[in-house]
Amino acid sequence: MAVGTLGAAPRPRVAPWNDPVVRGWAFQIVVVGLVGLLAWYLVTNTMTNLERQKIASGYHYLGREAGFEIGDSMIPYSPADTYARAILVGLINTLKVSILGIIMATILGTMIGVGRLSNNWLLAKICEWYVEAFRNVPLLLWLFLFYKLISEAFPGPRQAIGLFWHSVYLSNRGVYFPVPMGDPVYKWMGLAFLVGIAGAIALHRWARRRQDTTGQPFPSVSAGFGVALGLPILVWLLGGAPHHMSWPELKGFNFDGGSVIQPEFTALLAGLVLYTSAFVAEIVRSGILALHKGQSEAAMALGLSKGQAMRLVLLPQALRVIVPPMTSQYLNITKNSSLAIAIGYPDLVASINVTINQTGQAIENILIIMAAYLSVSLSISAFMNWYNKRIALRER
Amino acid sequence: MADMPIGERRHLAPPAVETGALGWTRKHLFSSWGNGITTVVLIGAIGWVLWWFLDWAVFTANFSATAGSECRGQGACWALIRDKFRLIFFGTYPYEQQWRPLFAMAAMLAMLVLSADRRMWNWRLAVIWGVGSFITFLLMFGQIHIPFTLLALVSLAVGAGGLALRKGIAQPQELNGYRALAAVGAAWLALRIVGLLPAWSIPIAPFDYVETSLWGGLPVTMILATYGLAFAFPYGVLLALGRRSNLPLIKSLCVGFIELIRGVPLISLLIMASVMLPLFLPSGVTIDKFLRAQVAVILFAGAYIAEIIRGGLQSLPKGQFEAADALGLNYVQKTSFIILPQALRVVIPPLINTFIGFFKDTSLVLIIGIFDFLGAANQALVDPAWAGYPGEVYLFAAFVYFCFCYSMSRYSKYLEVELNKGTRR
C-alpha cells in the first residue's frame, strides 16, 4: 500500500468483496432473501393447507351470527349478535380489567413499596414478604386459587354472607351490592363532574401563572379537588337529592336488583392487582432509594415543609426513575389480563378462542388478537413516553 | 470530664436502652407514638392470622385420610397431597417408570446448580450442558436416535465458527483443522440433501419409549423454561446485535420482530403455535404439541432477552468498539472477544430475573393442553374422591414454585454484588 498521501486520505481502493459497504449490502440482501423465502414457503404451505381443509379465508365471518353467550358485558349483547360484536365485547372487558388493574396495582404497589422503607421494622418485613410471596409464584396459580376459593369456599346465594347491614352479599355467584336507581339527575352530575375537572385544570394553570409572575402560592390542588367533587354534589342537591337505591334481594335461587361483580372478574382483578403490585412496589422502592439523601436535606434547609419537599423536590426526581419500568408493568397487566381465558372470564382472547373453534379461521382471528394488543400496548407506551418526556430532566 | 486528658477518661457503656435487644426494639419498633401503635396493631393482626392459619394447616389438619369425605369439617386436607403427589410432580408419565423423570429432574437441577458456579463459566459449561441434556432427554424419552445429519451439522458449525473466531490468531494447522471439519460437515449435508446418503442414526435405547404427550408435571415446567431460555439466548444475542447494527434492513427486521413479540401476550403466541403452526407446514408433516409450545416459548423469550442484552450493549463505551477495530479484529472476533463478554457480564442478573419470569410463565402452556406442574396440579383436583380441596393443592404448588423462584432470585442478588465487586467503591 502506498504511504505518503496523508492529508487528503482518498478512499482506499479495495476489491468489491473486501469493501465494507458492498459486503454490508450483500449480507443484508442474503438475510432478507432468506427471510422472504421462509415467508413465501410458509404462505404457500398455508394456502394449500387451507384449500385442502376447505377453510374459508377473509373477514366475512365477522358479520355472521356469533351464537355464543358472554357472561359479562358492558354493552348490550346477545347470542344473536355478530362475531364482530362478540369480539368487541371481549375487547371492552380486556380494557376494563386492564384499566382498573393498572389503577389499583399502582396505588397498592406504591403503598407496599413505601411500606418496605418504613422505620417500623415489622411493617417493612411484612411488606418485603408480601413482595416475595406474590412475585415468586405464577400469576396463573393465583388466579386459579382465587377463583376456586370464591366459587367453592363462598356459600350459594341462599346462604350468602351479608355485609354492612345486609346491603352487600358475598356468594359463589359473585358480589352483590346496591346501586342508585336510574335518575336523570345522574346524567347532569356526570356532566358537572367533567366541567369540574376542566375548571380544576384551568384553576391550576392560573395558579401556576400567578405564582410564576408574583410569587404568590395558591392551594390549587385542594381547590381543584373541591371544584371537581363539589360541582356534582351541588347538582345532586339542586336536582332534589334523589336517593332511591336498588337493593339486592333474594328472589328464588338468585339475587334480584342491585348490581353484581362476577366471581371470574373478581378473581382476575384480584390476581392481577396483587401480583403486579409486588413488582410495582419494587419499582417504587428503587425509585425512592435512587434519590440522594442530600435532596431531602436541601429541601428542608430551604424551609419547605415535609409535604412540599415530597411534592416539589423528591417526587419529581423519583418519578424519572420510576416511570420507564412502570410503563412495562402497565403493559404487563394488559397482556396478563389475557390469562382470563383460564378461569373463564370473557376477555378478548376468550371471545376469539370461541370464534376460532366455531369458524376454524385461525389466521384471521390471531391477526385480530395481535392487532388489538399491539394497538393497546402502543397507545399505553405512547402515553407513558409522553408523560416521561414531560417529567424528564430538562438539560440546558 | 472534659478537662481530663484523653487517655484518662473513663469509658462509659452506652445507656442500656440504646443497645442490645431493648435498644433495637426501641429504635425499630417504638421510635414514636405512631410507630408504636403500628407495631401493636401489626402484632395483633399477625398473631390472629398466624393462629388461624396454624389451626387450619397443622392443628386440625388431616394427614391420613384415604378419601376427601373423611376430611369434612376439619382443617387442611394434606392427605390429598400425600395421595396425589406423584400425579402432581410427574403428571401422566407411566406410573412404574416415574423414577425416570425423577432422575431427569435431578440431572437438570445438578446442571443448573453447577452452571451457577462462576468457576464453571468456561469450556466446562458446554460439557455440563451437553452431558446434563443428554441424560435428561435419554431418561425422559427412554430412547434417543442421534442422526448422522445432526453430527454433520455440528461439525460444520464448529468448523465455520472456529474459522471466523480464530482467523488471523491461530496457527495455520489449527485453521486447517477447522477447514477440514467444515468441509466434512458440508459435504455430508450436501450428499444427504441430494439423497445419496441414507438417514443413518446412532440408536441409544436402554428404556421404553415414552412420547411427549405423556410427559407432565415439574419436569415439563423445568424443560420448557430451561431449554426455552437456552435456545432463546443465542437467538436473543443475534436479535440484539441486529438491532444495534448499522445495516438498515437487518435493523428494521430485528426491531419489527422484537416489538411485535413484546407487544402481544404469550397466550396469543401459544394459541398461534397450537392452531396455526400445523397450517404453516406442508401436509403430512406434524410437530408434536410439546415441541410447538417449546418453539413458542423460545420465540417469545428471544425478544425479551434481546432487549436485556441491548441494555448491556448500550452500557459499553464507544471506545471499546473503536479499540477492537483498531486492533484489526473482524466483526465476529470483535463481538465475541471484546463486546459480548463485557456486555453479558452486566446483564447476567436481569437475565436470571427473566429466567424466573419464564419459569413462572411456562404455566400458561396448560391452556393449550400440556400438563406442566400447574396443569398436573389441576388434574389432581379433578378426582371426585378428593373434590373440594383446591386450596391445599394450590398452596402446595405455590410453595414448590416459590422454592425455585426465591432461590433463583437470591442467587441473582448475590451475583449482582459479586459481579460488581470490581467497580464498587
- Best of B264, B354, B368 to disrupt the A interface (most A CBs within 10 Å) is B264
Total domains present in chain B: 1
Q: How far apart are CA B350 and CA B419, in angstroms?
A: 13
- Bridge-based pairing of strands A249-251 and B144-147 is unpaired
> Higher confidence at residue B168 or residue A199?
A199
pLDDT at A1: 45
pLDDT at B206: 83
Cβ contact (<8 Å) for A342 and B366?
Answer: yes
**B270 → chain A, closest CA residue:** A366
Chain A residues within 8 A of B250 when measuring between CB atoms: 27-28, 31
Residue type, B135: I
Cell of A70: 358472554
In a domain, B45, yes or no: no
- Return the number of CB contacts < 8 Å for A and B: 156
Give the distance from residue A161's alpha carbon to the nearest chain B alpha carbon, in angstroms.
19
Chain A residues within 8 A of B275 when measuring between CB atoms: 356, 362, 366
Q: How far apart are CA B37 and CA B30, in angstroms?
A: 8
Q: How far apart are CA A106 and CA A276, in angstroms?
A: 9
Q: How far apart are CA B30 and CA B25, in angstroms?
A: 7
Cβ contact (<8 Å) for A148 and B391?
Answer: yes
Residue A171, classed as helix, strand or coil, is strand
Q: Please check the confidence at residue B9 and state whether its pLDDT lies above 70.
A: no
Cβ contact (<8 Å) for B271 and A353?
Answer: yes
Q: How far apart are CA A328 and CA A334, in angstroms?
A: 10
Q: pLDDT tens for residues A25-47?
A: 888 899 999 999 999 988 888 88
Tell me the average pLDDT across A182-211.
Answer: 82
Is-above-0.90 flag for pTM?
Answer: no
Picking from B113, B396, B85, the residue whose alpha carbon sits closest to that of residue B217 is B85
Give the distance from residue B124's alpha carbon to the nearest chain A alpha carbon, in angstroms.
30
CA A357 distance to own-chain centroid: 28
Give the distance from residue A372's alpha carbon to the nearest chain B alpha carbon, in angstroms.
9
In a domain, B74, yes or no: no
Chain A residues within 8 A of B281 when measuring between CB atoms: 45
Tell me the average pLDDT across B124-133.
Answer: 89
Q: Which fold has domain A83-181+244-386?
A: MetI-like fold (1.10.3720)
Picking from B308, B294, B317, the residue whose alpha carbon sits closest to that of residue B368 is B294
Beta bridge partners of A261: A175
- Among A48-62, B186-200, B403-417, top mean pLDDT goes to B403-417
CB A332 within 8 A of CB A384: no
Give the distance from residue A8's alpha carbon to the nearest chain B alpha carbon, in angstroms.
20
Q: How far is CA B251 from CA A27, A97, B96, B246, B309, in A?
A: 12, 35, 52, 7, 15
Q: Among A28, A148, A338, whose Cβ lies nearest the Cβ of B250?
A: A28
Q: How far apart are CA A30 and CA B120, in angstroms?
A: 37
- Best of B218, B259, B271 to disrupt the A interface (most A CBs within 10 Å) is B271
In a domain, B51, yes or no: no
Q: How far apart are CA A24 and CA A37, in angstroms?
A: 20
- Best of B53, B241, B363, B412 to disrupt the A interface (most A CBs within 10 Å) is B363
Q: What CATH number has the domain bearing residue B291? A: 1.10.3720.10
Reading phi first (left if > 0) and then psi (alpha if -120 to 50, else beta), residue A85 is in alpha
A113-117, A355-359, B18-22, B148-152, range with the lowest pLDDT: B18-22
Q: pLDDT tens for residues B216-237?
A: 889 999 999 999 999 999 999 9
Predicted ipTM > 0.95: no
pLDDT at A395: 63
Q: How far apart are CA A54 and CA A336, in angstroms?
A: 34
- Best of B31, B218, B275 to disrupt the A interface (most A CBs within 10 Å) is B275
Q: Please check the confidence at residue B207 and state whether its pLDDT lies above 90.
A: no
Q: How far apart are CA B394 and CA B221, in angstroms?
A: 16
Q: Please check the confidence at residue B162 and state whether its pLDDT lies above 80.
A: yes
Q: How far apart are CA B68 and CA B343, in angstroms?
A: 55
Chain A residues within 8 A of B360 when measuring between CB atoms: 136-139
Picking from A366, A389, A373, A335, the residue whose alpha carbon sits closest to that of residue A98 is A335
Give the distance from residue A75's alpha carbon to the nearest chain B alpha carbon, in angstroms.
25
CB B107 within 8 A of CB B135: yes
Picking from A334, A365, A275, the residue whose alpha carbon sits closest to that of residue A93 is A334
Q: What is the residue-wise DSSP string for B351-384?
A: HHHHHHHHHHHGGGGGGGT--BHHHHHHHHHH-G
Chain B residues within 8 A of A140 when measuring between CB atoms: 363-364, 366, 374
Q: How far apart are CA B401 and CA B395, in angstroms?
A: 10
Q: Please check the confidence at residue A55 and state whether its pLDDT lies above 80.
A: no
Tell me the average pLDDT across A253-277.
Answer: 83
Q: Please check the confidence at residue B4 and state whether its pLDDT lies above 70.
A: no
Q: pLDDT tens for residues A350-379?
A: 888 888 888 878 888 888 988 999 998 888
Chain B residues within 8 A of A286 when measuring between CB atoms: none
Average pLDDT, chain A: 82
Give the distance from residue A157's alpha carbon to the nearest chain B alpha carbon, in angstroms.
18
> Higher confidence at residue A167 or residue A263?
A263
Chain A residues within 8 A of B381 when measuring between CB atoms: 148
Contacts of A244 (CB under 8 A, 6+ apart): A180, A181, A183
Give the distance from residue A362's alpha carbon to the nearest chain B alpha carbon, in angstroms.
6
Cβ contact (<8 Å) for A136 and B249?
Answer: no
> Higher confidence at residue A9 or residue A322?
A322
Chain B residues within 8 A of A148 when measuring between CB atoms: 381, 390-391, 394
Domain, as residue range, for B364: 83-100+215-419
CB B329 within 8 A of CB B403: no
Strands (E), chain A: 161-163, 168-171, 174-177, 179-180, 245-246, 249-251, 254-256, 259-261
pLDDT at A50: 82
Average pLDDT, chain B: 85
Share of chain B residues as helix, strand and coil, in percent rounded to the nearest 5 = 75, 0, 25
Tell me the average pLDDT across A250-278.
Answer: 82
In a domain, B247, yes or no: yes
CB B261 within 8 A of CB B269: yes
Chain A residues within 8 A of B262 when measuring between CB atoms: 377
